[in-house]
Amino acid sequence: MQSNLVIFPNAGFVEKGKQTAEKTVTEYDVAEQQFIELLATDDLDNILDVEAAKVNEFERILSLAMRAAYQNDCGDTQAHLFLQRILYRINRLKLFWYDDLRHYTNERSLYLSSCLHQIETAWQNWEIAQVDVTALKKLDVKQALIERSAYDVDPPLSEDAHYIREEMTESGYRHLLAISSFDGLVEGSRLSRILGGAANEVQCTLVRVLLEEYGNGRLSRKHSTFFAQMLAEFGMNCQPEAYFDLVPWEVLACANHNFLLTERKRYFLRYGGGLTYFEVAGPGAYRNYLAAAQRLGLSAAAMGYWELHIKEDERHGQWMLDDVALPLVEQYPDDAWELLLGYDQEKLMGDRAAKAVVQSIRKAESTALPKE
């Protein structure tokens, strides 16, 4: 007979565990600050010996984080966050921020490249293990892409979608804008980094998508301009990365995955599949945000970005399927399954990020985001 006796954990043990967790978070924070200082060090590769103590301590924490994030089933949230922030700080050097040119002195650093490769390899092995690649290789790729797109263009509303549409408060909406500004204000577009190369119909379609997202060269029509208007409507900070510390690791992972696929031309098919899902599914998410803004009685400026994206991405999704993904299946029949891998990974990571954002919003609901 099972005992009804309830054994409570030793209070000292619980407190010790809490202190250990807090100590680890502090170590991650210190290591990230050390890494930021290394990023700003002139001629980093040639002075690593001088900064040996700082480098060694950073690498110790880096190894600890990779074990915590990728070598157990559930993963450690703080470890994931630390690793994705480090990856992003390296990757963002591939974008131009119209700031001090000396900030780019280490953009070709072999040491930074080594750090990026080390994290990326462990992380990508962990990500790919969550996809049944063997099953993907057995599918009729064309049919699978068509069926996936038909479903994802207008999927049933999830519990989180209902929450956004029907329950999220104005403070929650502002929190959503703060996190979304990480992407909305920064042109880290996968398209802007992928278009060079031989001219063909696929490339021309991608250029069409790029031109619309960049407002056909007019700043007033760029998507980021509309996002800045939404922030300004609430008196929020319109500077890129102003709310970086609010961004969940799951959202950072999407951005870093984007960098990986666009910087490695061998992953072009995965990129094409991923962008197809992104454009097909985008309007569904934006309609949820728009519905929330309308329910809250917000002004046109406070929801203009969503309206623009819905209108344009409905076209872009069809273009990506008909004029990019399906033609690539014909051009690369032996490797076409990689389009499905890209599509499914984009969906998996996007759903994970969306859930993390809603969790963050729910947590912040009781406290309005401070105005800048």
DSSP output for 78-138: HHHHHHHHHHHHHHGGGS--SS-GGGGTTTT-HHHHHHHHHHHHHHHHHHHTTS-HHHHHT
Ramachandran bin of 156, using left for φ above 0, alpha for ψ from -120 to 50, beta for the remaining angles: beta
Is 1 within a domain? no
Indicate the number of domains in the chain. Answer: 2
Domain boundary, last residue among 128, 145, 179: 128
Instruction: Tell whether 92 and 187 lie within a shared domain.
Output: no
Q: Which one has a higher pLDDT value, 122 or 191? A: 122
Domain boundary, last residue among 68, 103, 128: 128
Instruction: Tell whether 103 and 196 lie within a shared domain.
Output: no
Of the given ranges (14-28, 43-57, 247-261, 262-276), which has the lowest mean pLDDT? 14-28
Is 102 within a domain? yes
* Rounded Cα distance, 72 and 303, in Å: 41
Percent of the chain topping pLDDT 90: 81
Instruction: Tell whether 309 and 338 lie within a shared domain.
Output: yes
Instruction: Tell whether 312 and 190 lie within a shared domain.
Output: yes
Is 5 within a domain? no
Which one-letter amino acid corresponds to residue 182?
Answer: F
Instruction: Tell whether 106 and 160 lie within a shared domain.
Output: no
CATH number for the domain harbouring residue 196: 1.20.910.10
Instruction: Tell whether 144 and 278 lie within a shared domain.
Output: yes
Is 232 within a domain? yes
* 235 has pLDDT over 50: yes
Q: Domain containing 263: what range?
A: 133-364
Of the given ranges (134-148, 177-191, 256-270), which has the lowest mean pLDDT? 177-191
| Mean pLDDT of the chain, nearest integer | 91
* Rounded Cα distance, 149 and 325, in Å: 11
CA-CA-CA-CA torsion sign (177, 178, 182, 187): positive
Instruction: Tell whether 115 and 228 lie within a shared domain.
Output: no
CA-CA-CA-CA torsion sign (190, 259, 72, 35): negative
Q: What integer pLDDT is reported at residue 4 of this predicted model?
A: 37
Q: What integer pLDDT is reported at residue 226 of this predicted model?
A: 93
Is 321 within a domain? yes
Is 370 within a domain? no
* 371 has pLDDT over 80: no
Domain boundary, last residue among 84, 102, 128: 128
Is 235 within a domain? yes
Is 80 within a domain? yes
Instruction: Tell whether 122 and 140 lie within a shared domain.
Output: no
Instruction: Tell whether 121 and 179 lie within a shared domain.
Output: no
Instruction: Tell whether 107 and 123 lie within a shared domain.
Output: yes
First-to-last alpha carbon distance for the chain, in angstroms, is: 62
* 57 has pLDDT over 50: yes
Task: Indicate the pLDDT class of residue 213, thresholds 50, 70 and 90.
Answer: confident
Instruction: Tell whether 269 and 352 lie within a shared domain.
Output: yes
Task: Indicate the pLDDT class of residue 21, thresholds 50, 70 and 90.
Answer: low
Instruction: Tell whether 184 and 210 lie within a shared domain.
Output: yes
Q: Which one has a higher pLDDT value, 368 or 164? A: 164
Q: What are phi and psi of 133, to 5 degrees?
A: -65, -40
Q: What integer pLDDT is reported at residue 267 of this predicted model?
A: 97
